[in-house]
Amino acid sequence: MIAIIDYGVGNLFSLKSSFNAIGQETIVTGDPEVIRKADKLILPGVGAFGDAAALLRKNGMDNLVIEQAASGKPLLGICLGMQLLFDYSTEYGRHEGLGLIPGSVQPVRPVVPAGYKVPHIGWNALHLRGKNELFRYISEGDCVYFVHSFYAADCGESVIATAEYGPELTAAVAHKNVYGVQFHPEKSGAVGLNILRAFCE
């Protein structure tokens, strides 16, 4: 069973539906016991980093996620859920993350050329780095759907895919059993579903 961690952020309808579409049962839950029993975990998230980090901390969910990741359980962070895996973010002040992957979350605006719109919204091609099992069903150049104004920086060693938006922005990371994707696999058509499928298997 895969648990989609519900800590009060965003709408998990599409995410749950996308797992249904690939025949994978999921449970949306904030119950620590259910999360401990799950085989794999999804950390979703939309909105502002500080608010989401505070909600995670509110019920001790932060420590539970850290404990579960340390036990070797596969964990996938999606969008803001990916950003929360890092040490900290500078979105509206400095906010601490879970520290599961070394790096920080920084604004996109200063690193992209003038004339590039922020948020980075739309379909962009993935440039894969090395061979990661998360991408075993997709190909170099496949497009996925992004919506974000901040990106993961200083995380060179864990980057497994980037997307060009002026510079190459971090699109996906992997560090031991912890994975993160900046884009929305649940909104990225067949390519996105194939990434979720690879994570489930």
Partner 1 sequence: MITKRIIPCLDVKDGRVVKGVNFLGLADVSSPVKLAEFYSSSGADELVFYDITASAEGRALFTGILTEVASTIFIPLTVGGGINTVDDFDCVLKCGADKVSVNSGAIRDPSLISQAAKKYGDQCVVLSVDAKRVDGQFRVFAKGGREDTGLDALEWVRQGVRDGAGEIVLNSIDTDGVKNGFDLEMLEAVCAVVDVPVIASGGAGCADHFKTLFQTLPKVDAGLAASIFHFGEVSIPDLKRELAACGINMRL
Q: Which residues carry out catalysis?
A: 79, 184, 186
- Closest separation between CB of residue 74 and partner 1, Å? 21
Q: For 134, how many CA atoms within 13 A lie in the half-sphere containing its CB?
A: 25
Which range, of 34-42, 43-51, 61-69, 85-93, touches partner 1 by CB under 8 A?
43-51
Is residue 154 within 8 Å of 165, Cβ to Cβ?
Answer: no
Does residue 20 bind partner 1 (CB under 8 A)?
yes
Does residue 120 bind partner 1 (CB under 8 A)?
yes
Among residues 32, 33, 15, the alpha carbon closest in space to that of 24 is found at: 15
- The token pair at 69 is 């990741």
Does residue 189 bind partner 1 (CB under 8 A)?
yes
Q: Could you tell me how many residues of this chain bind partner 1 (CB under 8 A)?
A: 30
Does residue 44 bind partner 1 (CB under 8 A)?
no
Among 75, 188, 195, 199, binds partner 1 (CB under 8 A): 188
Among 34, 125, 153, 200, binds partner 1 (CB under 8 A): 125
Does residue 81 bind partner 1 (CB under 8 A)?
no
Does residue 24 bind partner 1 (CB under 8 A)?
no
Among 28, 34, 147, 198, binds partner 1 (CB under 8 A): 147
Sign of CA dihedral 76, 82, 126, 144: positive
Does residue 27 bind partner 1 (CB under 8 A)?
no
Binders of partner 1 among residues 98 to 117 (CB under 8 A) are 117
Among 27, 87, 107, 123, binds partner 1 (CB under 8 A): 123
Does residue 139 bind partner 1 (CB under 8 A)?
no
Neighbours of 13 (CB within 10 A): 10
- Binding region for partner 1 (CB under 8 A): 11, 13-14, 17-18, 20-21, 46-48, 117, 119-125, 143, 145-147, 164-165, 186-189, 192-193
